[in-house]
Structure 1
Amino acid sequence: MKRRTTLRAIFAAPAAICALSVVGLVSALTGDGLPDVIAWAMLAVPMLVVIWAMTTDRS
């Protein structure tokens, strides 16, 4: 019997990626210096997730 997956489990990772992207975009707009570093780090997360998903064998 298959275990039922909840909506929370399905959308947890995309919601976290979205939140990190929003934090990155807002910090990029609010200042220079440290906010720029935070923006680069937060906006790199979606790219790293895509690279990980493309290179990982999940069969």
Structure 2
Amino acid sequence: MSHSAQSTRRIFAWPALIAALGVVGLFAALLGDGGWDGLAWLALGVPAVLAIRGLWRR
């Protein structure tokens, strides 16, 4: 693997993880109540907290 491919993967790792959390959270919110609600809150809350933290540091 070349150096540029490694750096590209490293650049997009966190945004891809945050996007995946959002997708999981939205899907869990559609599935039902109970544990699914908890998963939705967690999966959608983490990206929100990271965004607020990033804005706060700025």
TM-score, normalised with respect to structure 1:
0.79
What 5-or-longer segments of structure 2 have no aligned partner? none
Paired residues, what number?
54
What 5-or-longer segments of structure 1 have no aligned partner? none
Higher-helix-fraction structure? 2
For residues 44 and 15 of structure 2, the distance between their equivalents in structure 1, rounded to whole angstroms, comes to 14
Q: How far does the alpha carbon of each residue in 1:5-59 deviate from its partner, in whole angstroms, 9 at most, with x for none? A: 71111100000000111110111101111101100111011111111112236xx
CA RMSD of aligned residues (A): 1.6
Counterpart AA for 1:18: A
> Structure 1 residue 23 and structure 2 residue 24: aligned?
yes
Counterpart AA for 1:30: L
Runs (4+) off by over 6 Å: none
